[in-house]
Structure 1
């Protein structure tokens, strides 16, 4: 962590993020033990939703880990964790539909999804350099290095900002599909799916809040170094 005027805000958001992660884990664990009304596994829901949207060539694969589910826009694959691929739970159904939501975004060329994908690799490299540039620049009083670090943090903030509509839209598509096909089966199942997806969405909100606080922190430090 780079200490600055917003350090305590960053720490507060970190604590909030841990609480949100705990909420996600508990929600996923609870609804991962509740069988969905149609007795469909995550893989079956994903395959059905993909086929109904004309994505017959997009495979559904099982990947190791817990909540490691994701859509790969490069390989065009929907990847579900072991706990969702073979399990006919409310949580598995919701997560699978969410990931297919990303596949549909890719099909319709959602601008935010495309931009996020283009930013991912260079941003990953840049964020490894950003703290070093900032600290070396502050220590040696080289303004150019300091502001280069700030710019990288700014791009990270932009990445998290773009991520919000991408994730919210995927969850909207998932809930719309599950409701339209009556796959939840009951008000309880619908509430469970919504709770799992809401908890997941909150983690992205927390990620954006952390990126914003970090940017404010390094920006204030850069301004101070120029005075």
Structure 2
């Protein structure tokens, strides 16, 4: 029975099951929340672009342009080029979802302006993580195949940088959402239940980052388990 596993089933895959389930649930949750609140217009009727521009100007970020990125839910703030990019539905949308997402991305721009610690750290390690996410697996697998333990361990160390990046992403995202909701409420861009609706959209989006972090941690645990199994 023991000889069956290496050829037909790797039991270490079981380590990933909880994270896979949570990832599926998170994606379902964010799709459901976005689909619901992307059909509910706000009382003020501001577009996502107008909301983003107002908040940016209030923060003194007049020089940050707002561009359209042709990707559904591809909204992001680019700290390198200092550009805010919104998907078409958010840029032109007058919905609760559009308002929440636009404000959230401006939250990142404000973090950048204020040199928010976790964001600055994440940006500083991004180039390393971008490389290590690819080469970690190459080195790990090569180490297993060639039975070179230092390669295996180096692959694990490189993948640990990916886990660190995911972990530091969590406070960055939660902080941006908290900033967004506070501004939307105090600036009277959204009212009452509209703020609660935006909060549901942003909370659902945040769960995808939690799921990604759990997946990265699970993958790291699996790599360690595989390295020990081959000792």
Shorter-chain TM-score bucket reads over 0.9
Residue of structure 1 in register with 2:175 after alignment: 169
Please list, as runs of the form range in 1=range in 2, the aligned pairs for 1:57-206 lying within 5 A after superposition: 57-186=63-192, 188-206=193-211
**TM-score, normalization: structure 1?**
0.94
1:209 to 214, 217, 228: 214
Segments of 5+ residues of structure 2 without an aligned counterpart are 1-8
**Secondary structure at 1:79 match in 2:** strand
| More moved, 138-147 vs 117-126 | 117-126
CA deviation map 1:159-204 (0-9, x unaligned): 0000000000000000010111122223x21111000000000000
* Pairs within 5 Å for 1:24-39: 24-39=30-45
Bigger mean CA deviation after superposition, 112-121 or 77-86: 112-121
* Aligned-pair CA distance for 1:13: 1.3
1:61 to partner: Cα distance: 1.1
Task: Tell me how many residue pairs correspond in the alignment.
Answer: 223
Structure 1 residue ranges without an equivalent (≥5): none
How far apart in 2 are the matches of 1:112 and 1:4?
A: 37
Deviation, 1:25, is 0.9
> 2:226 matched to 1:221?
yes
CA RMSD, aligned part only?
1.3
| Preserved CA contact (<8 Å) 2:12 2:226 | no
The answer for the alignment partner of 1:53 in structure 2 is 59
User: Is this contact kept in 1: 2:91–2:98, CA < 8 A?
Assistant: yes
Q: Could you state the TM-score of these two structures normalised by the residue count of structure 2?
A: 0.93
Residues 4, 53 of structure 1: CA spacing in aligned structure 2 closer, same or farther, 3 A cutoff? farther
Cα offset for 1:224? 3.4
